[in-house]
Amino acid sequence: MVYDFSPSRAGEHARIFLGSWNGKLVCDDFAGYKAGFELGVTDIGCMAHARRKFFDLHVANKSQLAEQALHSIGDLYEVERQTRDMSDEDRWRIGQEKAAPKIATLHDWMLAQHDLVPNGSATAKALDYSPIDNNQVEVRHEVA
């Protein structure tokens, strides 16, 4: 785990810092972070940011779709809370047992919902933003 602080959000800072590195990158969806990344960098995204998009949708118009997403994301957070103090191996194993099926269900649900909403809508953006990974990183970047 490495953090790098820069005085601005300019994409050049991330590109310079990462150089030729490749691997999994946990960051928000700001285009400046992603512009120019070399092949081999996997954007993991952050479920906390995705959750916020669904939360905002729910607050704005009591979206039932957003409420369902928030409930499912909450289930993933609960697995994360339960495994926080475990070894990496145990966290991975339990993640595969408990979180992976929830993630698969959430992913399938999101794909189905995406077909029902207009492209470019706030709901579509929330669905598009949501990261689905293999439990190798934390669900939320602030605990990664």
d(CA 134, CA 103): 9
Which helix (DSSP H) or strand (DSSP E) does residue 82 occupy? helix 64-83
pLDDT of residue 141: 43
Residue 60 pLDDT greater than 90, yes or no? yes
Give the distance from CA 115 to its chain's centroid.
20
Quick one: average pLDDT of 97-116?
92
pLDDT band at 28 (very low <50, low <70, confident <90, very high): confident
pLDDT of residue 134: 45
pLDDT of residue 8: 86
Structure token pair of residue 75: 């289930």
pLDDT band at 6 (very low <50, low <70, confident <90, very high): confident
Q: What is the pTM of this model?
A: 0.74
Quick one: average pLDDT of 113-127?
90
Taking CA atoms, 107 is separated from 61, 69, 98, 103, 130, in Å, by 23, 10, 15, 6, 9
pLDDT band at 102 (very low <50, low <70, confident <90, very high): very high
